[in-house]
Amino acid sequence: MLDKQTMEQLKFDEKGLIPAIVVDGTTGQVLTLAYMNKESLDISIKEERTCFWSRSRQELWRKGETSGAVQHIIDITADCDYDALVVRVNKEGPACHTGAESCFHNPLFESEENTAFTLQGLMDMLQGRKESPKEGSYTSYLFEKGIDKILKKVGEESTEVIIAGKAEDKKETIYEIADLAYHVMVLMLQLGISLEEVRDELASRHVIDKKVKQEKMT
């Protein structure tokens, strides 16, 4: 539970509520905007899973209580004025009651000039080249040639990374790492491996690393 001093810093509105913006701790995607009161915030911290105040039902609402789409809390951060919260979570299912991953799924505007790069966006594009080959596309060419060609390119790019790294050429190493990452992602799609599966593997190793460090300190 929050100590009394910290709780007093938070600015709940006239109805005793504070907005809580829930964010996917893995992807950074905004999942939903909900509200907490002091009791639901205490429960959320104690149970390390989101608990909100339902304004429509006028009752406490533990996310996933009936749907199973539980949100496990990573951390909670207040804004500069202490009148809004960001809650980072690891989710077990969709955030929206419609079944969508996020409640924010109704696009209103998208700039043609300002774009945001994401690894998942790149994976989706590569998947598109795999499912619907495009003439002249290098990615489609790799998928057409198959696993042996893809593995050969991964090996070649790994060597290029080593050469650039050995030369301590930062700019060239970044360039070669990007090439290697691209070809590894092509390999992942060829074998049906998702980014999420790799993230989960890295996350499991992070936990092991923390345990090892703790053991060395004791």
Task: Please report whether residue 97 resides in a domain.
Answer: no
User: Same domain for 81 and 146?
Assistant: no
User: Same domain for 8 and 60?
Assistant: yes
User: Same domain for 127 and 213?
Assistant: yes
Task: Please report whether residue 35 resides in a domain.
Answer: yes
Q: Across residues 139-159, what is the average pLDDT?
A: 98
Confidence class for position 210, pLDDT limits 50, 70, 90: low
The yes-or-no verdict on residue 195 having pLDDT over 80 is yes
User: Same domain for 61 and 149?
Assistant: no
CB-based contact 63:44 (threshold 8 Å)? no
Number of domains in the chain: 2
User: Same domain for 136 and 189?
Assistant: yes
User: Same domain for 13 and 69?
Assistant: yes
The yes-or-no verdict on residue 211 having pLDDT over 80 is no
Return the higher-pLDDT residue of 137 and 6.
137
Confidence class for position 200, pLDDT limits 50, 70, 90: confident
- Of 38, 72, 91, which closes a domain? 91
User: Same domain for 129 and 210?
Assistant: yes
Nearest to 37 by CA among 66, 22, 58, 23: 58
Task: Please report whether residue 104 resides in a domain.
Answer: no
Distance between CA atoms of 58 and 37, rounded to whole angstroms?
A: 11
This prediction's pTM: 0.68
Task: Please report whether residue 96 resides in a domain.
Answer: no
The yes-or-no verdict on residue 59 having pLDDT over 90 is yes
pLDDT, residue 10, reads 96
Q: Across residues 144-157, what is the average pLDDT?
A: 98
User: Same domain for 133 and 195?
Assistant: yes
CA atoms within 13 A on the CB side of 74: 13
Task: Please report whether residue 101 resides in a domain.
Answer: no
User: Same domain for 77 and 129?
Assistant: no
Task: Please report whether residue 99 resides in a domain.
Answer: no
The yes-or-no verdict on residue 205 having pLDDT over 70 is yes
Instruction: Find residue 78's DSSP bridge partners.
Output: 85
The yes-or-no verdict on residue 216 having pLDDT over 60 is no
Element (H, E) at 47: helix 38-47
User: Same domain for 85 and 172?
Assistant: no
Cα Rg of the chain, angstroms? 23
pLDDT, residue 181, reads 98
User: Same domain for 132 and 198?
Assistant: yes
DSSP state of 28: -
CATH number at residue 144: 1.10.287.1080
Average confidence score pLDDT of the chain: 91
Residue-wise pLDDT for 157-192, tens only, equals 999 999 999 999 999 999 999 999 999 999 999 999
The yes-or-no verdict on residue 150 having pLDDT over 90 is yes
CB-based contact 58:52 (threshold 8 Å)? no
Which residue is listed with tokens 């199973």? Answer: 68
Task: Please report whether residue 12 resides in a domain.
Answer: yes
Residue-wise pLDDT for 26-58, tens only, equals 888 999 999 999 999 999 999 999 999 999 999
The yes-or-no verdict on residue 213 having pLDDT over 90 is no
Distance between CA atoms of 62 and 208, rounded to whole angstroms?
A: 30
User: Same domain for 199 and 153?
Assistant: yes
pLDDT, residue 153, reads 98
- Of 91, 109, 128, which closes a domain? 91
CATH number at residue 14: 3.10.20.810
Task: Please report whether residue 112 resides in a domain.
Answer: no
Ramachandran quadrant class, 210 (left: phi over 0; alpha: psi -120 to 50; beta: rest): alpha
Note down the domain range covering 128.
Answer: 119-217
Return the higher-pLDDT residue of 142 and 207.
142
